[in-house]
Structure 1
Amino acid sequence: MPVAGADGRRERKKRQTRTRIQDAALELFATRGYRDTTIAAIADHADVATRTVTLHFPAKEDLLFADDPFTPESLGLRLRSRGPKEGTLEVLRDWMHATMRSLDASDAEEPQDLGRVWQRRALRSRLLMDDDDLRGRARAGYRDLEQLVAAGIGEDVGQAADALLPRLAASTVVGGLREIYATREAQEKTGAATSELFDLVDGVLAFARAGIAELSPKPA
């Protein structure tokens, strides 16, 4: 029976191979275009067998969408476990910060690569926005996030989730968070840790809070 140390090394090697394949794919997508990049070319660039690529990522789209930690399932779990006095935007902020810190922790084994995750996500964001089909798939995930946020904000302000205020606030929040990587402010942080984008996250949420306050019914 394999020892725990052997299991750990095997999992670490598997994770490293998966990351190397994703990095190779992103590099080729950026230089050749998503549609013109083949799985065989990705395998060659990552120095692995073609079958290794398809074992980790059965479809080419998975190279962009697999392993994304910002999932509706993750946010939904956090919202369902929130305390009675925790507002939706407060929960969202904590969730974003915690998830971004976990991304930085994934670089901890190789400190010289600090910021690689941020660079990968920034490149991924540009690729998604440049391809109609990929952008459409990404929007499906954004829609699920918007519905979760709208339901939470609606509960906070005593309105239905499909009322204008919750829907507008949710669209603003999710759209703003999605756009962070493409902003001038984010580009100026090239090579930085993901957590150095916290101030941009907080700015998006502050903007949404102001909008909610403006549209909320005023006491008589």
Structure 2
Amino acid sequence: MATMGRRERKKAQTRQALTDAAIRLFSEHGYDKVTVAQIADEADVSIATLFAHVPDGKEALIFDDGIERRAGLVTAIRDRPSGQPILAALRQFMAGRGPFTTDMPPELQRLRDLIVSTPALRNYSRKLWIASEATLAEAIAAENDRDPSDMTIRALARYVLEIPDLAGAEPDPLAAMNAIFDLLESGWPGPPKGDR
């Protein structure tokens, strides 16, 4: 395993200081009342340095770049047990993430609650999930010998990636996530026979 050089370590430390400062300030004062300048000051860096590390602005300060998320989605599909359906593997992957996991350390629970309760952070989180659409479609298509541009493959990928935003703010996020996966796995049943 390669070790980081001094420059990379310094960049990682600065990025972590910015993240820690943002979380602390957002938690204490509320996301909307905190400015980028306050975050930079709290982390003891210039505003230019903050934007060099996080060009997307203050929303991006508490999120990763999405690479781990995309890799996790692909791994969930490719490394699933033999015979396990793709949607079951994706359900299992999602159940261990963000609003759906039930065994988080307290500091991650606070971060999750902050994200779920802050519209700008929820929107940014959704943006990161949706950015995985092409990658997820390719992984689903490869497992089904289909073209990733097939509309049904693309739609399935999009539906799965909308689940964190749709279910994450529900009173029971895990139950909501499972209800959506149940729907995706079985298809829309239509109205009861007497209502047609």
Q: For the superposition of Structure 1 and Structure 2, which TM-score range results when normalised by the shorter chain?
A: 0.5 to 0.7
Is 1:118 the equivalent of 2:92?
Answer: no
Any gaps of 5 or more consecutive residues in structure 1?
A: 1-13, 187-195, 215-220
Q: Deviations over 1:21-63 (max 9, x none)?
A: 1313535673237xxx22x31245x5x4236x958x8225340
Contact 1:26 1:123 in 2 (8 A): no
The answer for the alignment partner of 1:142 in structure 2 is 130
Give the counterpart letter for 1:41 in structure 2: Q
The answer for the alignment partner of 1:63 in structure 2 is 61
TM-score (norm 1): 0.57
- Cα distance in 1 for partners of 2:30, 2:182 equals 35
- Cα distance in 1 for partners of 2:115, 2:120 equals 10
Q: Could you tell me how far 1:99 is from its partner in structure 2?
A: 3.2
Contact 1:150 1:167 in 2 (8 A): yes
Aligned length: 174
CA 1:101–1:158: 2 relative to 1, 3 Å: same
The answer for the alignment partner of 2:4 in structure 1 is none
Q: Deviations over 1:160-208 (max 9, x none)?
A: 3322322222222212333323x4x24xxxxxxxxx6321221221121
Q: Could you tell me how far 1:82 is from its partner in structure 2?
A: 2.1
CA 1:171–1:115: 2 relative to 1, 3 Å: same
Task: Give runs of aligned pairs for residues 30-179 of structure 1, distance below 5 A.
Answer: 30-32=31-33, 37-38=35-36, 40-44=37-41, 46=42, 48-50=43-45, 54=49, 58-59=53-54, 61=56, 62-66=60-64, 71-100=69-98, 107=105, 111=106, 115-123=109-117, 126-128=119-121, 139=127, 141-144=129-132, 146-154=133-141, 159-179=146-166
How large is the Cα RMSD of the aligned pairs?
4.3
Q: Deviations over 1:102-152 (max 9, x none)?
A: 976652xxx5x573132122145x10566xxx58xx6365142x2344345
CA 1:164–1:92: 2 relative to 1, 3 Å: same
CA 1:178–1:115: 2 relative to 1, 3 Å: same
Contact 1:169 1:212 in 2 (8 A): no
Contact 1:104 1:115 in 2 (8 A): no
Any gaps of 5 or more consecutive residues in structure 2?
A: 1-13, 191-196
- Identical columns (%): 19
- Cα distance in 2 for partners of 1:171, 1:101 equals 19
- Cα distance in 2 for partners of 1:90, 1:152 equals 14
Contact 1:21 1:42 in 2 (8 A): yes
